[in-house]
Amino acid sequence: MARYDSLLDACGGTPLVGLPRLSPTVPDGAPPVRLWAKLEDRNPTGSIKDRAALFMVRAAEEAGRLRTGDTILEPTSGNTGISLAMVAKLRGYRLVCVMPENVSTERVQLLRMYGAEIIFSPAVGGSNQAVATAKQISAEHPDWVMLYQYGNEANARAHYETTGPELLHDLPTITHFVAGLGTTGTLMGTGRYLREKVDGIQVVAAEPRYGEVVYGLRNIDEGYVPELYDASVLSRRFSVGTRDAVLRTRQLVEVEGIFAGFSTGAILHAALAVAHEAVRDGRRADVAFVVCDGGWKYLSTGAYGGTLADAEDALEGQLWA
Amino acid sequence: MAIEVRIPTILRSYTGGAKVVDGAGDTLGDLLVDLDSRHAGLRGRLVTEAGALHRFVNVYVNDEDVRFLGALDAKLSDGDSVTILPAVAGGAFGFAAAAAISQHSAAAAATSSHSAAAAATSSHSAAAAATSSHGAAAAAVSQRSAAAAAR
Q: Are A74 and A34 contained in the same domain?
A: no
Lowest-confidence pick of A73-77, A276-280, B12-16, B64-68: A73-77
Report the pLDDT value the prediction gives residue B100, as an integer from 0 to 100.
25
From CA A236, how far away is CA A201, in angstroms rounded? 11
Report the pLDDT value the prediction gives residue A112, as an integer from 0 to 100.
93
Would an 8 Å CB–CB cutoff place B12 in contact with chain A? no
* Confidence check: pLDDT of A42 > 50: yes
- pLDDT tier for residue A321 given thresholds of 50, 70 and 90: low
Buried b (16+ CB within 10 A) or exposed e, A150-172: bebbbbbbbbbbbbbbbbbeebe
Cα dist from B97 to A12, A24, A71, A87, whole Å: 20, 30, 23, 18
- Say yes or no for a CB contact (<8 Å) between B97 and A241: no
Minimal CA–CA distance to A267: which of A192, A198, A190?
A: A190
- Say yes or no for a CB contact (<8 Å) between A105 and B114: yes
A49 is catalytic: yes
Minimal CA–CA distance to A141: which of A227, A236, A73, A224?
A: A73
Q: Cα–Cα–Cα angle for A50, A46, A83, nearest 5°?
A: 35
State the complex-level ipTM: 0.84
pLDDT tens sequence across A283-319: 999 999 999 999 998 888 888 988 888 888 878 766 6
Percent of chain B with pLDDT over 90: 52
Contact criterion met (CB below 8 Å) for A157 and A202: no
* Confidence check: pLDDT of A255 > 80: yes
From CA B115, how far away is CA B105, in angstroms rounded? 15
Q: Are A301 and A203 contained in the same domain?
A: yes
Q: Is residue B113 part of a domain?
A: yes
* Confidence check: pLDDT of B20 > 80: yes
Q: Give the mean pLDDT of A192-205.
A: 98
End of a domain among B34, B56, B88? B88
Q: What range defines the domain where residue A285 resides?
A: 7-42+162-310
Report the pLDDT value the prediction gives residue A197, as an integer from 0 to 100.
98
Q: Are B50 and B19 contained in the same domain?
A: yes
Q: Are B81 and B106 contained in the same domain?
A: no
Task: Tell me which residues of chain B, numbers 13 to 42, contact chain A at a CB-CB cutoff of 8 Å.
Answer: none
Q: What range defines the domain where residue B122 resides?
A: 101-150
Q: Are B20 and B70 contained in the same domain?
A: yes
B88 neighbourhood in chain A, CB within 8 Å: 126-128, 214-215, 217, 223-224
Q: Are A183 and A300 contained in the same domain?
A: yes
Catalytic residue of the set A49, A83, A121, A297: A49
Structure-model confidence comparison of residues A148 and B95, the more confident one: A148
Q: Give the mean pLDDT of B96-111.
A: 29
